[in-house]
Amino acid sequence: MMINNTEERKSVKKKDTKNNQNDENQLKELIEVAKSAVIGYEKYLLDEINYNDLARIMSNLRKYLPMGITGSDKK
């Protein structure tokens, strides 16, 4: 019984490590997309890109936001 308990702990630890790495990767991606959105907005304000380009950048950012945030007031 001790072996099963140890194996279960190792299995849980591996899952936790994979989840932490996945969360870190998602956070890094979100940071990069948010940074791109800020830079894109600055370029839009400086008339270096048009509103269509800015809309694509912001739509890409929205894909990375948590579920339930859609920009819509409908429930």
Task: Express each pLDDT in 1-32 by its tens digit.
Answer: 455 666 666 666 666 777 888 889 989 999 99
**To which H or E segment does residue 54 belong?**
helix 51-64
Of residues 26 and 47, more confidence is placed in: 47
Share of the chain above pLDDT 90, in %: 51
**How far from each other are the two terminal CA atoms of the chain, in whole angstroms?**
50
pLDDT number for residue 16: 72
How crowded is residue 34: how many other Cβ atoms within 10 Å of its Cβ?
13
Residue 52 has pLDDT above 90, yes or no: yes
Q: What is the pLDDT of residue 11?
A: 64
pTM reported for the whole predicted model: 0.63
